[in-house]
Amino acid sequence: MDPSKRPQYASNDKKGNGDNSSVMNGHFEGSVKRPVSATSQPPCAESGSQRPSSAVVESWREERTRSVEDNEMSLPSLAAAYTTILRGLGEDTQRQGLLKTPWRAATAMQFFTKGYQEKIVDVLNDAIFDEDHDEMVIVKDIDMFSMCEHHLVPIFGKVHIGYLPNKRVLGLSKLARIVEIYSRRLQVQERLTKQIAVAITEALHPTGVGVVIEATHMCMVMRGVQKMNSKTVTSTMLGVFREDPKTRDEFLTLIRS
């Protein structure tokens, strides 16, 4: 599609040169996917205590794009596609080692992208608690596995999440579940970082959220420039994590301690 014809959406981050937070390209599932209008205001202008509109929340609740039934129906065509790929590579698909490979690969790809089958609201609804706590909450070194949407090869690394509660807290394991849902999709790291931060913001309406991802991209290690030790670091800071340097510095110091 001609980039000039793509719909434009408001971003939760400030724009600037080299700001990757604007890379939504139609895949940013969830509540922040909203058309820019003369009356709309970027979410970053909202305070931590302000709630999004009910229409926005509904779009977030309806983000599932694939079902278990869809998996069953699409498995034969996926397997057939892998058979075509193997033949295109010059392989004999009838030799013993490859007889079941198309089905195995198709099933594996469905697992690698199982985040399309899950909704954040299903995970979080019973794990948000009223709590008079206003100090920083951090869960760091969350293992992350994803798939590069450009080359269909793995991305893996660590996710660090911090937020300042606003009278509500989230069950700690649910932060890891949010990472799992969004990482188990075809992704770019910039978008993944933003999606995690926005999901937490929409669920809890905290004073601020910070997310940092450090990851290795196999598209840089196995092919292309083939830089074995390269890592990509991305961050999204919302609310006071963006506005207050001391809060941001505290978060960054703690995740590296």
The catalytic residue positions are 148-151, 189, 217, 219
How far is residue 13's CA from residue 236's CA, in Å, rounded to a whole number?
A: 8
Amino acid, single-letter form, for residue 37: S
- Return the half-sphere exposure (C-beta side, CA atoms, 13 A cut-off) of residue 38: 0
How far is residue 155's CA from residue 232's CA, in Å, rounded to a whole number?
A: 10
> Contact, 184 vs 112, CB < 8 A?
yes
Please give the structure tokens belonging to residue 143.
């293992």
Q: What is the DSSP letter of 150?
A: T
Q: Which residues pair with 211 in a beta bridge?
A: 161, 236
What 244-250 contacts at long range (C-beta under 8 Å, 24+ apart), as own/partner pairs, is 244/208, 247/136, 247/164, 247/208, 248/210, 250/136
Closest C-alpha among 190, 57, 58, 182 to residue 116? 182
How far is residue 99's CA from residue 224's CA, in Å, rounded to a whole number?
A: 31
How many helices and strands, by DSSP H and E, does the chain display? 9, 7
> Contact, 127 vs 133, CB < 8 A?
no
The sheet with strand 137-148 has its strands ordered as: 186-187, 137-148, 154-164, 208-217, 232-239
